[in-house]
Each structure stands twice: as C-alpha cells, then as structure tokens.
Amino acid sequence: MATHIEPLGSREVLKTSKLKSTIAALLVSASLAGAALADAQRLDIPAGSLLGALETLAKQANVDLVYQDEQVKGLKTKGVSGELSANEAVIKLLEGTPLTVRRDPESGAILITPRSSSGPEHEDTTSSLRGQIDEIVVTGTNIRGVSNPTVPIIQYDRSDIEYSGSRTAQDFLQTIPQNFAGNSSLYSGRAINPFKSVTNNSGSSGVDLRGLGAGSTLTLLNGRRIPATETGQFVDVSTLPLAIIDRIDVQTDGASAIYGSDAIGGVINFVTRRDFTGLEVSGSAGSVTSGGKQDYQGNIVGGFGWGSGSAVLNLGYTDTGKLAMADRPFIGQSDYGTLAGGDILPDEELWSGYASIAQDLGERTSFTIDALYTQRDHTSTTSMYNRVQHRVFSIDNYFVTAQLNSDLTDDWNVGVYADYGANSLEESQNRVLNTGQNFNLFLFENDILTLEGRVSGKLFDIYGGKVSVALGASYREEGYRDASPPNGRFDPDITRRVKAAYGEVMVPFVGVDNEVPFVRQLQLSVAGRYEEYSDFGTTFNPRYGLFWEPVEGLGVRASYSESFRAPPLYSIGNRPQLAILGMRDPLYTGTPDPRLAPGTVYAAAIYGANSLDGLTEETADSVTLGLTFEPRSLPGLSAELSYFEVSYKDRIQFVSPDLAAGNPAYENLIDRSPDPAYIQSLIDRAMTDDSLLFYSGVFDINGNQLPVVASDVQVFFDTGTRNLSIVDVRGMDLSAKYSLDTSFGRWSFGFNGSLLMDYKTALSPQAAPVEGVDQIYRPVEFKARGTVAWSQADFTVFTALNYIDNYTDTLSDPMHPVGIASWTTVDLTLSYGDTNNHRNDWLDRTRLSLTVQNLFDKDPPYANTVDGLNFDSTNASPLGRFVILRFTKGLLQ
C-alpha cells in the first residue's frame, strides 16, 4: 500500500494522530514486506508521473511505501522494467528527482523523503542510493531539488531512446515534432535552401525548436553550456554519443531568465548516465533495404561505487555509411537540370569517451566531475554543375565540468561550477576530382569557459508552504578562431566576456495541506537574469510563471518571458566592406549617368557579415498557456495541452544590395540622394582604418574602370548583416501517455503533436508580414508521432507512426504553387530479454532487438527543388526502410 504523510511543524513526519495506527499497520505486514523488498520480480512501470508510478509499484510488488504527496506531486520518473526487487525499483523510480529513500527499521516499510545529509537516519540502504553526491539536474529552474510546474517540458527517458531504434542523437531529435530540421541537419550541406540562416559545411546537426533557427535553441549537457561548432552559430549534437544519454528534456518556451543567451525557441538538455553499476556491452548493425548504406555501432559502459563515491566510464564507436544518390532513383532529375551523382549522405565515424566521477567530501559536501571527448570524421562526395567535389572534415569536441555542492543546512545548498569545452573543425581536403582543382580549407575553433556560483534554499514559510529561492553569478568566456587561409575579412581570434547575475523565487500561495475550494495549489515563479557583454552591451530578461491546480490532477499554467540571442562571434569579428560599383536599381528615378550602361547606377554599398552600425542582440517575447491532466483515479495517464506565442525581433539577417534593390521591404536601407561628404568619409575610413574594407569596380559602357569620386555616387546601399527581420510564431502542443496492465500484458500509449498556426515573417520592420506555414523549406502546420507498446514477460513490441502534414511549393513557380503531399511512416521495434534479468542460459542479462524504421519504405514526397534532390530536406528524409539489429549484454552487476 502507499501511505501518504503530511507536514508537522517544519519537519515532514507522520501526523501524530495517525502515527501509532500507521506504524501498527506497517508492523502487521512487516514480514511480508521484507520478503517483497528483497525478492526480485517482474515489474513494468512506465515513465510519467512519479506519484502514479509509486502507486503502481505498491500494487505490483505488494509493498508499503510512505511518502508525502506534496513532495511527490508534479515530479516525473523514467519508469522501470525488468526483474527487480521493490527496493531496487523505487531507487530507479527516484533517479533524477530531489527525493531519496530509506528503510524503516521497525516496520520494514520504504520511506521516501527529500535528500539530506543531516544525519544517519537518512543513510542510503544501498550504494546505488548515492544520489546525494550527484548534482540534481532539473531543467527549467536554478532552484535545487524542485521542479517548476510553470515550465512546459517534454521528457524522453532511456527507454524512449532505445525503442525508437535511433542510432545517433540527431536521429532521435528528428522524431520530436517540435523540432525542425531546418538548415542545421545532415542534409543541409547538400541542399540549396534559400532560407539558410547558418553556415553548415560539415553535415553538423543542431536543434531548431519552432523553426526559429538552430542558434535560437540552447543546447545543454547536464544543464551546462557546451561549445558551438563551425562558425559558432549552433551546437553540433551529432558529437554527443547517444549511448551516454540517460534522458532528454525539451523545454519549449523562452528561458533566458534562467540560462541567458540563445534560449529563444527553448532549451534541450541532454542528461547523462551517472549512476550505472556493473559492466554492459552493446552493439548494433543496420542497413537500408535498398542501396548500400550500412551502419555499425559498439559501446561498453562500466560503473562501480565505493560507499562514498562512484564512477562511470563509457567508450563508444559509430560507423555511419554513405547513401549514394544512385541508390535513390527519384534524386538527380528536376526541372532545373540533371545532377551527375555523388553522395546524399556522407561517410562518418564517431569515436567517443565519457567519464563521470562523484565523491562525498564529508556528510554535507559532494564533488562531481564529468568529461566527454568525441571525434567525428566526415567524408562526402557531391556532384553538381559538372563538378565532382570531395571533402573531408574532422571535428574534435571535448567538454569537462566540475561541480562542488554543499548542504549548508537542511534547507540551504551552495554550488560552485567550472566548465570548459572546445570544438575544432578542420577540413583536410576540398578537391574537385574531375579537374584537380583544390579549394581553400576551413579551420574553425570554438571554446567556452564558465565559472559559476549559486546558492538556493527555502526562505520562510507562508500559507501554502516554503518560499524557495536561488541566487547566482557567473563569468563566461566564449572564443572563436578562424584559422582558415586569410581572406582579409575576419579577425582571426575573437573573445567575448560575459558577466551575469540572476535570481529566481517560487512562492506557494496555496498548497495541498491547506487547499481551499477550487484552489488545491497556487504557485508563482519569478526569475530574472542580468548580463553584461564585452562586445555589445547589457541585457536583462525576466520570466513570470503561475501554476494553479483547481482540483487534484488538473493543472493550469501560464508564463511570460523575455529572451535574447547574442550576435554570433563570426559576425562580430567580420569586417564590413565598402564597395563602389555599378548596379541595377529599378526604383531609381534620378538622372542616369551617361557613362554607364542603361539601367545601371553609380553605387556605394556595404557587404559582409557585419554592418556599419554593428550588431546588437536579437530579442523575443514568449507567452505560454497550458493544461496538465494526471488523474489519480486513472494511474498511468498524463496529458498536457500547451499554447505558445513567440514574437522574435531584431533577427540578424544578411541583405545584399542586389536583394535590397527594388524590394520595398528594404527601402529604409537605400539612400537615392546620398550626401557626397558622407560617402567621402566612408572612402577615407576604408583607406585608413582596417575596420572597413574597400573594393572599387565601376566600369563604363566600354568596359573601362572609372575613378572613385564621392560626388558621382547616385545610390547608397547601407546593407550587409543587420538586426532587421521579425518572426511571429503561434501554435499548440499536445502530448499524452497512458499505461495499463491487462491479462494480455502491459500496454503503453503515447502521443506528441505540434500544431503551428502562424509563422509570419517580415524582412524588416517596414515590411508587411508574410505567412510561412506550410511552405517548402519552412515548418509545416502539423507534425505528430504516436506510439503503442505491448510487453509481456521479456517480450516487447513497440510501434510508432510519424506524420508530417501536406504543404506547398511556392518557389519553383511562384505564380503557380504546387502541392507537396503529406508523409506518413511507421517504425517497429521487437525486443526480447532484459539486462537486469538473471537466467541460466546464454540470454542471461541480455536484450536482443530488431528495429525497422520506415517499415513500408515510403519515399519522401516529391518537390521540384533547384538542387535536384527532389525532396524538401528540412521536412523529409531519403533514407527509406532501415533495419537495425541490436544486442545488449550485462556482464557484471
């Protein structure tokens, strides 16, 4: 049975009036409970609400669990499955939560309490309970040991990852409807996308929530920033080996008040495996059923503890084979011409090593250190316009984070953090094979150093409970180095320094112990972060959230936040260029220059990844409203409906003079009667100051170059890269999970869908917004993934249906838009065995699985693309049916 306890004074104990009767009841069942706690049995408890999971465990294992509702309500669990004792099961259910467990010495019951180091009464019952020495990673809040119910978070645990059959992190992320492949995916280096907003030559993969750009989603590892890749515009998640990931948290609203820059579309937090005990090896082999692409993986993870500490080590290797264009007949022929061949997907190898060490330093202090190193080698051959180009990249990535945490009192904790990471991308070959021509090679380096101190705890009691607070400060250095062959445009080495101070408070106006009609819980969350940048100024971003639970199991949340994105160092370090040249300007109505060809004007224009005025931060306002549903009367069910709005302003955008000419959206950047004195000042600056480069190329009608004369300039284009565009996004998310036990086994159902109602873009503040939903290379109106799983004993069958809505090609012929069909695919996974199940045969602690992605081998919908791929690389994949065999073997435990 599950016994709930309530607060008495400031300590969470059984109410006195219930204490004797409760203990008496527990003592009656003590002998039975002891046996149940010790004996392993088959348990299947799905991920979801911790409260529902504990009640399910109490029923399945026939054990006594004692806890307080308020401490458990709202927390999530990764679930458990396999042959486990009840004690082992509850330990796993509490992983990643601020709760711990101990055995009552008299009754044998399991007592679930907040983590504390206050004395021997809170000692763990097994070395697996060393959660006190680990930093508790809770996405969306800086307050230690609590979750924030006002934050919309979608959580994926290890079973979700394994059942998906995904081979890499980017594979799994493409199953999330809120994520848009955009131009930060494996295909984007091959595709010609007119809306491309980031540089991606090496097939790197970023996260792009809501389609706002990969640079507008913050990517974290265990809640810490990691270095970006290539030109520093986004984090390459393909360098994160999936084998080390324990869970993935997706926060789908603005979070700059908590994390700072980049968290406009949201946050994705990869939480690693830190508490593994034993030795486990795994391997997989996969292949398309049409073509030559084959993938292989191998992984070994080991972990052990020594009472006051623990260590985990993971080594992995992934070989991802190429997919040739010749293997996909629908690729290569379009209205724009025929492509000769090459690879649609590259050859890649990924080597990885990960280590995590945790150590108690006395009763109240703990130290953890995590280190990750990966090397990704990328080889691709592409053919376009009668040129066969061969490129080889090597991407090295490493990250180290150290954390020291100390419980000052039962209610207060202080943490000190130090992180350093670096990512280097080196191109060792860029050669046109059929001509022998060699191109300049890229060499980009990004690094990040963060030092942070934080204190969090409980301030005082009010009517609804304890007011919790977190205060902190941090110092961060971000470095970008372009060591490519010099072209005169870039500063070779750029460093940004960021100082920050932040605070967060959670106020429980009403709690479950003093609920009133239609107000069971009412919580307010307020957070704010101030940051000072060395290169563009200061910014302050607040967040306000409210959670209301009118009746048990039904929650209402609302939030408003302001977020920002700092200008990329690539742009900050790029020097603009003043060009004097002849150009066409259809809207010029002045006197023509008789020396120039008809329709040509004598122009001055600004080019480059920066502008004369410099760049400042991009900003956004976000609003979310949500309903959560977790009825106690129906254990295993959880559902959430969310509405979101994002108004994204001052987006950094490159505007060329050719694009601006004749486009009313950019009229404010064009001066058709420029002041000769101002033009001369720019020429003088370019001649004497390295901050402005210079180019001259004005030719008369006979091809003779004309001299540079400021008074001859008829039109000035103040273009380049500027804070210009606006994006307004509005939509809804729906997610649900339900699990139940039947006489035919355990059934689990899941759904995650995203409806995008508006994706309006304006090229400048002067331009009219244009709707972008359901257009090629843009997010579609509706994406969804539904799952069904059945398990009985050691057998599991998992299937997923993926749906992408139909949309329109408005680019190939703007006057006659063409529809692009919807795309529905099915994935299937069959598995047998359990790494926790001890047997007397070769399947001892072994799991075997067969996964078929795109079971019915559905081709991507046809699109008449200029690159000849004939599919929209941002919304579909050419992979086809892919079959994976995987085994996992537990060797030690």
29 vs 736 pLDDT, higher one: 736
SS3 718: coil
Q: pLDDT per residue over 233-247, tens digit each?
A: 888 898 888 889 999
The pLDDT value recorded for residue 408 is 92
Q: Out of 206-215, 461-470, 496-505, 512-521, give the one with best mean pLDDT.
A: 496-505
Query: Is the model's pLDDT at 10 over the cut of 70?
Result: no
The pLDDT value recorded for residue 768 is 86
Q: What's the rounded Cα separation, in Å, for the pair 841 and 837?
A: 11
Is 364:406 a contact under the CB 8 Å cutoff? yes
Is 602:697 a contact under the CB 8 Å cutoff? no
Q: pLDDT per residue over 205-225, tens digit each?
A: 889 999 998 889 999 999 999
Sheet arrangement for strand 577-584? 670-671, 715-717, 600-607, 577-584, 693-697
Residues above pLDDT 90, as percent of the chain? 48
The pLDDT value recorded for residue 372 is 96
Q: pLDDT per residue over 524-534, tens digit each?
A: 999 999 999 99
152 vs 690 pLDDT, higher one: 152
Is 775:793 a contact under the CB 8 Å cutoff? no
Q: Which amino acid is at 700?
A: D
Contacts of 565 (CB under 8 A, 6+ apart): 215, 216, 261, 262, 264, 617, 618, 620
Whole-structure pTM value? 0.83
Q: What is the mean pLDDT of the chain?
A: 84
Q: What's the rounded Cα separation, in Å, for the pair 140 and 343?
A: 40
Is 398:421 a contact under the CB 8 Å cutoff? yes
CA distances from 615 to 356, 570, 572, 610, 761 (A): 40, 11, 7, 7, 20
Burial of 112 (0-12, 13-18, 19+ CB in 10 A): buried
Q: pLDDT per residue over 582-614, tens digit each?
A: 988 888 989 999 999 898 999 999 988 778 878
The pLDDT value recorded for residue 117 is 35
Strands 745-762 and 770-771: antiparallel
Phi, psi of 801 (to 5 degrees): -115, 125
pLDDT band at 579 (very low <50, low <70, confident <90, very high): very high
Q: What's the rounded Cα separation, in Å, for the pair 45 and 51?
A: 12
113 vs 448 pLDDT, higher one: 448
Q: pLDDT per residue over 416-430, tens digit each?
A: 999 999 999 888 777
Residues above pLDDT 70, as percent of the chain? 85
Q: Out of 46-55, 337-346, 519-528, give the one with best mean pLDDT.
A: 519-528
Phi, psi of 437 (to 5 degrees): -75, 135
Which residue, among 483, 415, 491, 424, has the nearest Cα to 453 in the 3D structure?
415
Query: Is the model's pLDDT at 493 over the cut of 50?
Result: yes
Q: What is the mean pLDDT of residues 295-319?
A: 93
Q: pLDDT per residue over 830-873, tens digit each?
A: 999 877 766 767 777 899 999 999 999 999 999 888 777 888 88
Burial 487-510 (b: 16+ CB within 10 A, else e): eebbeeebebebebebbbbbbbbb
Burial 60-98 (b: 16+ CB within 10 A, else e): bbebbbbbbbbbbbbbbbbbbbbbbbbbbbbbbbbbbbb
Q: Which helix (H) or strand (E) holds 690?
A: none
